[in-house]
Chains A and B, each alone.
Chain A
Amino acid sequence: MAMEEQVKLIGWLRSPFVTRVRIALALKGIQYEFIEDDSENKSQLLLKSNPVHKKVPVLFHNGKIVCESMIIVQYIDETWDTNAPNLMPKDPYDRAIARFWAAFVDDKLALSVWGVLVGQGEKQQKAVEESLANFLLLEDALRASSCSGNAYFGGDEIGFADIALGGLLVTIKAIEKVTNTVLVDPEKTPLLCAWIDRFSQIDLVRGILPDPAKVLERVSHQRAKFTSALAGN
């Protein structure tokens, strides 16, 4: 490993995907420069560094560029492999399970919750039902994990799947507020709610989770944009 590590992260603080990476960097105790970008006016640096997707987060490490939040998290874990904690388990099967749930959060959960935000009427109702079903599946996963005595998805410390879901927490809460829906129900998903409390109260995490007011503002703006577009039709 290089003696002098230069680590930079481009993003905006309210982004759930940027939050994931900031959590991973903080857990590993990695110093970095945060370069705040503007979602409405993306910088040349961002567009050149991630020409394929033009999205945040983007991690720079000693001149190397890494994109896509969970790919960045794996990169951080593998590069700083001697910094505790390990974000991925050692056993190949456990690693497959961690990747499975992280992919589930991205491919299913995030999509259904987004559908609640931008949808109206029947479409929104369907998205709410899908989201509830997706959270129930996460509840099942936690139950299976807690049977092994684990407090988190992967173990007794936060890991890959916890980071994947944890980055989204403030956004999910904001979406519930703005749309006046309950997606995470303490009666239906008690283990998940306990996990949310536990995760959010970890000192390192608490300092990184975005300002709920700022996220709420952004989410309200997005809702207005999408619902007025529909009304305009």
Chain B
Amino acid sequence: MEGCAQEGQVKLLGVDYSPFVVRVRIALSLKGIHYEFIEEDIQNKSELLLQSNPVHKKIPVLIHNGKPVCESMIIVQYIEEAWGNKAPNLMPKDPYDRAIARFWAAFIDDKLLPSTLRTFRGQGEEQQKAVEESVANLLLLEEVLQSTGKAYFGGDEIGLVDIALGGLLVTIQTVEKVTNIVLTDTQKMPLLCAWADKFCKAPKVKEALPDRAKFFELMSARRAKLTSPPAGNLKGGG
């Protein structure tokens, strides 16, 4: 019996603009795994989604030979392990390097993502605080690249942390555009900006990234809704 799984039947439930879905698509693309993408309507979730992820009812969900895997970074590790013999390896071999990779992936989810969302949703002082936090979080990632001197967080090739952050890239860049705030300053974080540039252009990554124009429209509409005054407060206005 071969060490790695036969590709089998792979389905991915998601929406193309979700950073979490993008992470999984990047991993699948890098490993050259063929899959069926099932576009979900978030306002009207399918039976398949609700049955496959009854705990969280969220996307992405990877269904491999009928078995569902949930939570983006858990899916990415699953892809790495189920197709362990398929290059490239998304995780280092050494346990310490793996711990460091997991640490930064968790940091991105637990710190960077929430502060980015607060930047997007916030206004005034609250938003300013979120911006400062986001910049501080990004600077920590800049320091990681400074200390390793490598092009990617994973070393010479894309790895777990690159995928964790890379999934968020278009989201972060769109938040910057929509709010007119710079989070990724080339002067403050030159390595991170270089990384972003290189990552977006990497073969097999490009095709997994969402349509920027569409995503910008979506986020602009959301921001407008968040920042518009509640109806009835406008006197004599249209």
Interface size class of B (residues with CB under 8 A): 20 to 34
Contact A96 B78 (CB under 8 A): yes
Q: Which of B5, B75, B84, B103 contacts A96 (CB 8 A)?
A: B75
Contact A104 B99 (CB under 8 A): no
- B69 interfacial by beta-carbon distance below 8 Å: yes
Contact B106 A64 (CB under 8 A): no
- Chain A residues within an 8 Å CB radius of B5: 92
Interface residue ranges of B25-68 to A (CB < 8 Å): 55, 64, 67
- B81 interfacial by beta-carbon distance below 8 Å: yes
- In terms of DSSP, what is the predominant structure of the interface of chain B? helix
Can you list, as one digit per residue, whether each of A175-216 has a CB less than 8 Å from chain B (1) or not (0)?
Answer: 000000000000000000000000000000000000000000
Q: From known contacts A71-B106, A99-B74, infer whether A93 and B67 are also in contact, taking CB-CB under 8 Å.
A: yes
- A67 interfacial by beta-carbon distance below 8 Å: yes
Nearest CB of A to B148, in Å = 15
Interface size class of A (residues with CB under 8 A): 20 to 34
Chain B residue with the shortest CB-CB distance to A102: B74
Contact B78 A92 (CB under 8 A): yes
Q: Which of B64, B74, B103, B140 contacts A103 (CB 8 A)?
A: B74
Most B-side CB within 10 Å, residue of A93, A95, A96, A137: A96
Stretch at the interface among A14-22, A73-81, A115-123: A73-81
Chain A residue with the shortest CB-CB distance to B98: A78
- Chain B residues within an 8 Å CB radius of A3: none
Q: From known contacts A52-B140, A137-B55, infer whether A93 and B82 are also in contact, taking CB-CB under 8 Å.
A: yes
Once the chains are docked, how many angstroms separate the CA of A52 from the CA of B75?
A: 26
Q: Which of A52, A75, A95, A104 contacts B96 (CB 8 A)?
A: A75
Q: Report 13 cross-chain contacts, Cβ distance below 8 Å, ordered by A residue.
A: A66-B99, A68-B103, A68-B106, A74-B99, A75-B95, A92-B81, A93-B67, A93-B78, A93-B82, A96-B74, A100-B70, A100-B71, A137-B55
- Show the binding face of A for B, using Cβ within 8 Å: 52, 61, 64, 66-68, 71-72, 74-75, 78-79, 92-93, 95-96, 99-100, 103-104, 137
